Amino acid sequence: MTLYGYFRSSTAYRTRIALNLKGLSYDNVSVNLAQDKQLEAEFKALNPQGLVPVLQADDLLLYQSPAILEWLEEVYPTPALLPKDAAGRMHVRALSAMIGCDMHPINNRRILQYLRNELSVEEEDVMAWCHRWMSDGFVALEQRLASNKTRGDFCYGDSPTLADCYLIPQVSSARRFKVDLSAYPNVVAVDAHCRTLKAFADADPMVQPDAPQ
């Protein structure tokens, strides 16, 4: 398999985590978002949206990280990243969607670049935008994690799930934007525990081949 991504992309990051948790080997191809390589014809032939990640598995091209992660779960079911019961799967998918639908997209690079370049928003206000929507999301996530009294060291249950694949890149992004995480002890604890696991450590942006040395 070949993963087209970028070291700092949260969506590529979550995909790397899932691939690592599944124990799958893959080649990394860097698509430099800082240089807008995702907008060039070569990459758009893979994904007309011009977005990473794209996962190539033989002749199959997979796009959109939620669909990629679900595909991995269906094709490589062990170890499972979704609970066995329907209610558990709903909770994990809902936690994932809180991040993947309501936090990450409105703080994505192309949104921030639009604010800066097209709307001429001052950098201070761009950062305020990021902090507002990330913080709102973490407030809700913290409440969800705190209310689950049967939860172990992860977002749900006693083993990593898709929700953890989503959470850890979002926490990494929040730290990069200097969001104060002290009000979210459960979020921070899950993040700290996950980072002790090799699958998460090996997916970290700063250890990727295309990361600044």
Res 63: pLDDT: 97
pLDDT tens digits for range 16-46: 999 999 999 999 999 999 999 999 999 999 9
pLDDT digits over 167-178, tens only? 999 999 999 999
Task: Say whether both 109 and 67 belong to one domain.
Answer: no
110-138 tens-digit pLDDT? 999 999 999 999 999 999 999 999 999 99
- Angle in degrees, CA 98, 100, 102, rounded to 5: 50
What's the number of domains the chain is made of? 2
- Is residue 20 located within the same domain as residue 36? yes
Asked whether residue 204 is domain-assigned, the answer is no
Average pLDDT of the residues of the chain: 97
Query: Domain span at residue 97?
Result: 86-199
Cis peptide upstream of residue 79 (ω within 30 degrees of 0): yes
Residues in Cβ contact with 85 at an 8 Å cutoff, skipping those fewer than 6 apart: none
- What mean pLDDT do residues 69-94 have? 98
Q: Which amino acid is at 37?
A: K
Question: CA of 106: how far to CAs of 130, 131, 132, 183, in Å?
Answer: 8, 11, 11, 22
Distance of alpha carbon 89 from alpha carbon 70, whole angstroms: 12
User: What is the structure's pLDDT at 213?
Assistant: 79
Alpha carbon separation from 135 to 2, 10, 85, 94, 114 (Å, rounded) = 34, 17, 31, 18, 21
